[in-house]
Amino acid sequence: MSKTKTSKTYAQFYAHVHSKAHSPRSREVYLRWVERLGEYYQPDGPGLRRLSERQVLDFLIYLRDDQKLAGSTVNQALVPIRILYRDVLERDWRLWYEFTLQRREPLPSVLTRDEVHRVLSNVHEGRFRAVLSLIYHCGLRLSEALQLKPTDIDSQRGVIRIRHGKGDKAREVPICMSMVQRLRDFWKHHQNPDWLFPGVGRGWKQSGISQGEAMGRSKKPMSSSAVQMAMRTIRGNSGVKKPYTVHTLRHSFATHLLEDGVSIRQVSRYLGHTDLKSTLVYLHVTELSEEGGRQAQAKLYKQVIEQALRRRRRR
Q: How many Å is the Cα radius of gyration of the chain?
A: 25
Cα separation of 244 and 232, whole Å?
9
Helix residue ranges, H only, the chain: 8-19, 24-40, 53-61, 71-82, 95-98, 113-121, 126-138, 142-146, 177-190, 211-217, 224-237, 246-259, 264-271, 276-280, 290-300, 307-314
For the chain, report the end-to-end CA distance as a whole number of angstroms: 88
118 exposure class (CB count in 10 Å sphere: 0-12, 13-18, 19+): middle
pLDDT at residue 300, rounded to an integer = 67
Question: Residues for the chain: how many in total?
Answer: 315
Catalytic residues, by residue number, are 141, 166, 247, 250, 273, 282
CB 87 within 8 A of CB 40: no
Mean of the pLDDT values across residues 220-243? Answer: 92
Mean of the pLDDT values across residues 102-118? Answer: 79
pLDDT > 70: what percent of the chain? 89
306 exposure class (CB count in 10 Å sphere: 0-12, 13-18, 19+): exposed
Query: Residue 289 — very low, low, confident or very high, per pLDDT cuts 50/70/90?
Result: very low
Query: Residue 290 — very low, low, confident or very high, per pLDDT cuts 50/70/90?
Result: very low
CATH architecture of 4-98: Orthogonal Bundle (1.10)
pLDDT at residue 104, rounded to an integer = 58
- Say which amino acid occupies 27: R
Q: Is the pLDDT of residue 103 over 60?
A: no
Q: Is the pLDDT of residue 133 over 60?
A: yes
Mean of the pLDDT values across residues 73-96? Answer: 91
Q: What is the mean pLDDT of the chain?
A: 86
CB 254 within 8 A of CB 138: no
pLDDT at residue 52, rounded to an integer = 93
Largest CA-CA distance found in the chain, in angstroms, rounded: 91
Asked, colleague to colleague, whether 4-98 and 113-284 share their fold, the answer is: no
Q: How many CB atoms lie within 10 A of CB 258?
A: 20
Mean of the pLDDT values across residues 259-278? Answer: 86
Q: Smallest Cα–Cα separation from 182: which of 169, 203, 171, 196?
A: 196
Domains of the chain, by residue range, sit at: 4-98, 113-284, 290-315
Q: Does domain 113-284 have CATH number 1.10.443.10?
A: yes
Q: Is the pLDDT of residue 105 over 90?
A: no
Q: How many CB atoms lie within 10 A of CB 296?
A: 12
